[in-house]
A and B are shown apart, each in its own frame.
Chain A
């Protein structure tokens, strides 16, 4: 049994106390004395030339302090992109300018044109209606394939085309892959769409800029997953503010799912404007505004092919993907369809030859970037739908075809043909576990029962792998990242033994304040309540890269372990001095330092007090105090994996799909807080099922966002989902981080969409609709009905 509050315990979350009583402090809860309000006037056309902006009437409106347009930002930089991809011909990607406010052209509905600053939010909004923008509408670029046609209208006039890059991976393997297809016994082909999604954390984005003229100090309060990244990007690349004059604070953050990683124009605008108007400037996004200004996710159009030999072994895989970048390059956008997608195309299989082609395309739509899973859901969806289709074409059980081609436990570490090396895993074990927890053996009986009610029951399976804990800095540097991806921690032990841990990771719902404290409590053997986790403020935390890609425990937690080990080593030296023993004989157990084999000991508080009141202390060889900082740069990604099973019922009259049960058997390596891990998986499953059945970000032919509010964008609701069965007892610990953890934040959203769609196809095929081999997401009643009756 894990100790309460230690590693492995389902410790209840300490942050809940404030969230449950209305005392959470989110960015919109911050109001600074003298603050004024900003509202952004946004383009209502997808593509247009700005001929002129007349501010005169608006400037005369009550309460208006200042209205900014692109001209006011002429001296500052544009919004930078953090990753440069090199294409298959050795060319770097085309990188368009991304001005803070639209300059000359508007490129998507929602592109900000003017920033109205007024005493109140209502006055700013009222004045926006009086701004006259003269725009000549241009033909919008929407369809990715058409966008690449010769002579197509260009989103960016100064680029040679709408192609951002044409990426091939691994380019040297292309000929061998084609040759393997030429002699395949069977080829399965699938064309599919990975639907565009909106992350929709329940807290909309907010930014409050403040400037103190007496100290030349800027502060930005923002809804961010990574305040240091925002400080670096905005300070160095946009506004030219040195880091020591810029503090970025992200207080409690109400969900992110990727959408709060990026540096957004509004953050730079409020910070810039705060100095200009001499007052703190606050902007709060409305939900409708979020739909047209938060980065979207997914949006791939793919053709994928699998070659098999006459014994059903996978011999080669080939994919051809168009990835929508939207109108500008968001912070990490170029890396998502490439390094976070192509490198996962091996899945759990020993396919020896793989070639991935990705064409990234500019369109007149909102920029697309990472959304929970980021590239890995796209890879998993293609692969797991394809393998399912192959099994059905070959008349073999989809479970058996997977098992036959799985990388086996004796093959680790496993070098895939797409660059990455999986350290551990046991896919047969997770598959076995799934079949057990989903009561697969009882499926036929349940299907028969559904049939008596006129319903078509189906079971769908998917097995995923993902790469988390991004990432070795030198590796990602070679791949085009313009940042390092280490993590940091400072462990500050106070004189009486309590501890403040300052981490560069930042929770936006993951419960770091609880689970990180568990790690330190376990290592030192003291009560977790003596440990506080501090995050989200660049003024007191060491430079960190933030929370995304399921990296916080694997990378941030490892930095905490490293810093805590430094603390323990120093504390042992102090204890050795106090106990007049050799350091090598000092053992730390349950918060006590003892001399091995004796009953001599000093407790934790005795050592910490000596560190800060160093009267009896080896001052000649040891500095006083007990505070250590560590940076941890991972040596590899981590590779969580798992088997997911979904059971659905299809109503043949309406095409409506109901998810009856969903089971997940994950291997996350070691687990620090099982309760939190289960919650992460459940939340991910809801988002994945949402993508599969409900959610779709739809544009019309004019580039107007049709699903621009919660009225039109179908978020999963409580009555759309079943209870989930979640298991994480299959454990192959990560081999290269000190906790042996892999990360669990994205798995649910990665593994579930193919399981759901496979279940629908299974239901239809079992009911005799053999011609239905694929339905694009979201699998709506209309699409199912059309597939059955088409």
Chain B
């Protein structure tokens, strides 16, 4: 298998003050689901937006390498990028309301994507839109196509976004929290649909989610981000069986599981918050919250190998222990 998307040492900053992504590297193989997880604000969405060349104004990206299906994304012109975007690589945004235009109906927004990239008639595009809406579990697509975004519930809007991203049969789908607004039965339906597309059409998926239940069930590989860095990468089963980075261990220990929650106790959480990281920050960004931290953690941290495709960024030697609170 060759990598469909390859990111090496991605850096993204905003106006020289915030270093939002600090040297993130990962690759998405063809036909795999790669999950990106991590604390709120660690740079997951910014990473995805950098790949799509959709960073907000003031955002600067640089990378050693950033390629999609052999094409160097860093050297593409805006027009060439616009031809890929929504077409061969599509994205489902974290906030559906910010990416749906309130002034246009669902139908006109969905058909526009297809006719712009692939041509064809509006009627054919409407048929395709209705078919995809059915597949993401929207009934009465005819009625929904004529409605405006504010007339739909949060979950309907999210499903419209998913259907819209699939309009052009993309090779890579970047999905940023695609099911947060959905109930668990619809979530399961959408995840099964994505699995089918992956199996039948070889779709590759970069899935950003904070739901570790989803990660466990659908991911082939996982990258864990913390404060702008990928601090651990592993095949899914290995990550859950033998997490190495203290942040990953902490994260896995705070997942509440129905039927196993203790109602009168507070939920487990990792104490503290992500520190503000300016340019020139050195050492491990987790050290203010890590129970294993010592003075060496303020210096450069080695990337250690814990398995063939499993590495992590921490001074501690690999362990085969079960997850434990950090």
- Indicate, yes or no, whether A interacts with B: no
| Partner-B contacts on A (CB < 8 A) | none
| Partner-A contacts on B (CB < 8 A) | none
